[in-house]
Structure 1
Amino acid sequence: MPSGFLHPDIVAPYDYIFMWDEDLGVEHFDAEEYIKLVRKHGLEISQPGLDPQSKGLTWQMTKKRDNSEVHKETQERPGWCTDPHLPPCAAFVEIMATVFSRNAWRCVWHMIQNDLIHGWGLDFALRKCVEPAHEKIGVVDAQWILHQSVPSLGNQGKAEGGKAPWKGYVSLSLLCLWEENHHFSKLHVRERCRKEWTMFQDRMAVAEKAYFEAMKIDPPNSTAT
């Protein structure tokens, strides 16, 4: 994973780190204006709003809103949010076009699992790197992008040899997205995606437990007195 090379000490001279996929349309995006809004609204972790015409648009949180600079919460499908301040209704952006502050990246960098092929589940864990997460994570509506779902690192958006263009790209992360949104029959890909998500969740739970024990503090929602 390329981000593994961006050690926090190496990128420390930069105020913000852009970790973006390669299949994004940026005709309506200005980085300098974006950073102005991020600073204005106190966002430590953010992403541009997604044009409603984007392919594979999964979450209401990431969808661009009209007549808005930034939004930090949303309404999702019934049962999807156990708490209005938790993902995917708040404290949530996708691992697609994420922008991290220097301090947030120092935390997120340690979450990256280089032995896993993709990053499913990481976007739900980002909230652990800022506090309060529902105020410091948000979507910038005034600067938006288009998710094309046509990876430029594959066959440049062209079908070759009877294969769809995305098949020229080896990332299982993208295959996971296509599996979920287009119902391809490659069950082994979907199973791998979900298995790795479970592995990531288990590792996070172990790491959190070790942290709280080392700090001699009770974890959130603990019943200890």
Structure 2
Amino acid sequence: MTDHKITPEKVTKPIQLLAAWLVGLITVNASFLLAAQQITKPDWATGALVIAAIVNVPVFIGALFLLQTKFRAQIQEDSYYAQYLENERQFTQSSRADVAKVVEQEIAQTTEKIIKSLGVEGRGKELPIAEILRESQLELMVAKLGSSRSLAELYVSPKTWAAVSGKFSKNESFIRDIEALLEEGLVEKKFRGYKHCKLTNLGTQIAKIAEKQGQLFNQIKPEFWEFGHKELADDDA
């Protein structure tokens, strides 16, 4: 049998790690089959080793497929993965900037229409009109998203957010809730998933207004909120 030696400190690239996996599979299966040839008693040991060697192959292929699909970005070389993370960060930042830009454009266009409709009386009133429109925009956001549980979690209890996002990461209602906040620019995140989400300045502003109006999730459903956080505390314990 060929002597396959792996020097851990020389495994510096993901493709080398996959090669090491392959060498490991060959080595383990070869040792299983060799042992199966040598063992005579107990009788079941030979069959168990052969079955283990057979099962190892689809398990390895499945793990390899998972790495090449779901975790493809993570198994790139460090330089490429760093670029991937940077692209992710820039994308989220540009998305938030786009939302803010669109809102300001809408306010400016609406202000211009109002000024034109007022004629002479509207001259010099651009700033107060724009401010009123911004406030109304905030009120609309509060009405739409002020009672969001994710908003309340990130505002009232940010320290437990990692536990909340982990517990409900596959819950469709949770995903819709947090995605709505991300889409409106109330929440930002650095990486895939929702563990590293945090409120933007706009999100904090909306949460404060909702809190004053008693519209936060924890204010609307205090018993449910307390029960949920008690469960989180019990899980941590």
Same fold (TM over 0.5): no
Larger helix proportion of the pair: 2
Between structure 1 and structure 2, the one with the greater Rg is 2
Could you state the TM-score of these two structures normalised by the residue count of structure 1?
Answer: 0.23
Larger strand proportion of the pair: 1
Could you state the TM-score of these two structures normalised by the residue count of structure 2?
Answer: 0.22
